[in-house]
Amino acid sequence: MIKSQLKKRIDACFEHGLKKEFWTSAATDKYTVEVPKHEEQGDFSTNLAMVVAGMEKRNPREVASSLVSMLEAESDFIERVEIAGPGFVNFFIRNDVWTTVLAPISEADEKFGLSDIGKGMKVMVEFVSANPTGPLSIGHGRNAILGDSIARLLESVGYDVTREYYFNDAGRQMRVLGESTRARYLELLGREGKFPEDGYQGDYIYDIANSIMRDSGDTLADTDVKFFKDRAQSAIFVDIENTLKSMGIRFDSYYNEHTLYEKGFVDEVVEDLRGKGFVYEKDGAVWFKTTEFGQEQDRVIIKSTGEPTYRLPDIAYHQEKFRRGFEWMIDVFGADHIATVPDVMSGVRALGYDDKKIDVILHQFVTLLRDGKQVKMSTRKATFITVDELLDEVGPDVLRFYFLMRKPDSQLEFDLDLATKQEKENPVYYVQYAHARLCSIERRAQEKGLQINTPDQAPLHLLVEKEEHQLLKAMAVYPALVSEAAEDLAPHQIIFYLIDLAGQLHSYYNKHKVITDNEELADARLCMSRALKIVLRNGLQLVGLTAPESM
């Protein structure tokens, strides 16, 4: 598109400047071409002059002047170039150039925005990975939708993506789950069962206990906790899978934590770390020298009881990711993992792997609001609203949109009252209605017998309104936006873009008629409207949202 054409032109000028010895190669691949925040600053801007000047101790405006002189010699699609501020170079593109974006949109259609920048690189996105101790909470829901959207973005730009759920079926939490289920089973039998002090109190535990009683009566009263743990785990995980399916989320593989123990991978990690001198024993526990990797204190990896801490299997799991051939690993965790991530990364480095191939996305918690008041939540006491309940109330599109509407590291307030409104204040409705409005325009055109021509047939020179140029510019940046959002692991950028594009469309529609008495003008505007429909649809579907044709 136009941004990439301009970038190629700037790159060529930079190379020409190297040959003329205007500057050195130090700034190669260090400069950027961006869309300025303010319209008066042009259509695009580059910081090349400031990067060169900063690296070579020169006057940035002097460097910018050399760049501008080269660009002005080849200004076939550039109207003018200006030097601004400390040395930004701003570009103003000829108005008639913007209509050229419509042809590639029309030709690519549902593939518009897709690319192959990933070149088939093998990527794992690990997300959700919730312990099967209860239904998915809204925090798990944010994790699920964030991870799935990141996977979708990476696939759209040519990465070979595997979605994996790390199935944690070991440890104290699972034992407590079994004890809670057994206690409820005995209670239903009229017998006294000791309920664990920090046990799981939700009604779902009663439901599982009831199903056990229906199947086996009172024959399991003396059965050990493992049976109840296994039965509860199985029932809960089926429920989790159904919830994920309701959100349109699938996984390619599930990795069971027990595998790490059964195949000796955990013991292997300890021995490897010990052999490298990174493990020692103190107070009956086994310690990992995380201070060797920049941390303030060492960490226990095996308690004095002989039970591994959560860090150890996590290190073994990441070693297995490397061994399975993944070239880029993305972990999506809640903010409560912030203290454990450095320990795992230290373990990865200690084992000789490149931890730069691992990106960890930590998302903040979700605050649920109803009637302007926060809904209190506790997983153990089961006083929380589940993802299933939210789905029943607002539907998958609203849930997905709201969970993507903030950056992962931002606290998310989910306003139930707003989410259920069918009006423009609700951003989901606002964006989806933009697509439905464009579909309605096409239906009215067909009713009037108007043909929607392809860009090579439509009189696009008639698209001269300021709002039309703004819409054309917005569509032109979509492919670059998708690539950047994928590389940055930032699906919220697509949501921000869709909100902005929908806003521009609604403003345009309120000011200008698409279907006018001037048939040529209607022809041009209908062509542009169809391109807008394609971009909106592709953007919505890219992050797993539907594009309704009527609302």
Can you say whether the dihedral through the CA atoms of 83, 86, 88, 92 is positive or negative? negative
Query: If you average pLDDT over residues 418-446, what whole number do you get?
Result: 93
Q: Which two tokens stand for residue 509?
A: 């529609």
Position 193 scores a pLDDT of 79
The whole-angstrom separation of Cα 512 and Cα 447 is 20
CATH 3.30.1360.70 intervals, the chain: 2-93
Position 381 scores a pLDDT of 52
Position 406 scores a pLDDT of 94
**Backbone φ/ψ region at 108: left (φ over 0), alpha (ψ -120 to 50), beta:** alpha
Q: Using the predicted structure, report yes or no on whether residue 128 has a pLDDT greater than 60.
A: yes
Degrees to nearest 5, angle at CA 510 with 506 and 512: 110
How far is residue 313 from each of residues 30, 166, 263, 320, 492, measured CA to CA in Å? 39, 11, 12, 10, 32
* 160-167 vs 253-256, strand pairing mode: parallel
The whole-angstrom separation of Cα 169 and Cα 180 is 16
Q: Using the predicted structure, report yes or no on whether residue 217 has a pLDDT greater than 60.
A: yes
Residue 386, classed as helix, strand or coil, is strand
CATH 1.10.730.10 intervals, the chain: 99-117+424-542
Looking at the DSSP assignment, which residues form a beta bridge with residue 69? none
CB-CB contact of 367 with 376 (8 Å)? no
Position 469 scores a pLDDT of 93
The percent of residues above 90 in pLDDT, for the chain, comes to 75
pTM for this one?
A: 0.91
Query: If you average pLDDT over residues 528-535, what whole number do you get?
Result: 98
Position 109 scores a pLDDT of 97
Q: Using the predicted structure, report yes or no on whether residue 508 has a pLDDT greater than 50.
A: yes
Indicate the helix (H) or strand (E) that contains 427: helix 427-447
With bands split at pLDDT 50, 70 and 90, how would you rate the model's confidence at 377?
Answer: low
Indicate the helix (H) or strand (E) that contains 82: strand 78-84
Task: Please state which architecture CATH assigns to domain 127-256+364-420.
Answer: 3-Layer(aba) Sandwich (3.40)
Task: Indicate the Cα dihedral angle 17, 20, 22, 27, nearest 10°.
Answer: 40
Q: Using the predicted structure, report yes or no on whether residue 380 has a pLDDT greater than 50.
A: no
Query: If you average pLDDT over residues 38-65, what whole number do you get?
Result: 91
Position 378 scores a pLDDT of 55
Residues contacting 88, CB < 8 A, separation 6+: 41, 45, 46, 47, 49, 50, 64
String of DSSP letters for 203-220: HHHHHHHHHHHHHHTTTT
* pLDDT tens per residue across span 235-270: 999 999 999 999 999 999 999 998 999 999 999 999
Question: Picking from 3-12, 495-504, 525-534, which range would have the lowest pLDDT averaged per residue?
Answer: 3-12
Position 386 scores a pLDDT of 87
Query: If you average pLDDT over residues 294-300, what whole number do you get?
Result: 94
CB-CB contact of 10 with 71 (8 Å)? yes
CB-CB contact of 122 with 474 (8 Å)? no
Query: If you average pLDDT over residues 533-545, what whole number do you get?
Result: 98
Which of 56, 76, 58, 63 shows the shortest CA–CA distance to 9? 76
* pLDDT tens per residue across span 308-365: 998 999 999 999 999 999 999 999 999 999 989 999 999 999 999 999 999 999 999 8
Position 74 scores a pLDDT of 62
CATH 3.40.50.620 intervals, the chain: 127-256+364-420
* pLDDT tens per residue across span 71-110: 876 667 888 899 998 899 999 998 889 999 999 999 999 9
CATH of domain 99-117+424-542: 1.10.730.10
Q: Using the predicted structure, report yes or no on whether residue 482 has a pLDDT greater than 70.
A: yes
The whole-angstrom separation of Cα 146 and Cα 142 is 6
Q: Which two tokens stand for residue 133?
A: 């101790």
Give the HSE-up count for residue 466: Cα atoms under 13 Å, Cβ half-sphere: 3
CATH of domain 2-93: 3.30.1360.70
Q: Which two tokens stand for residue 16?
A: 């020409």
String of DSSP letters for 524-537: HHHHHHHHHHHHHH
Query: If you average pLDDT over residues 65-72, what whole number do you get?
Result: 85
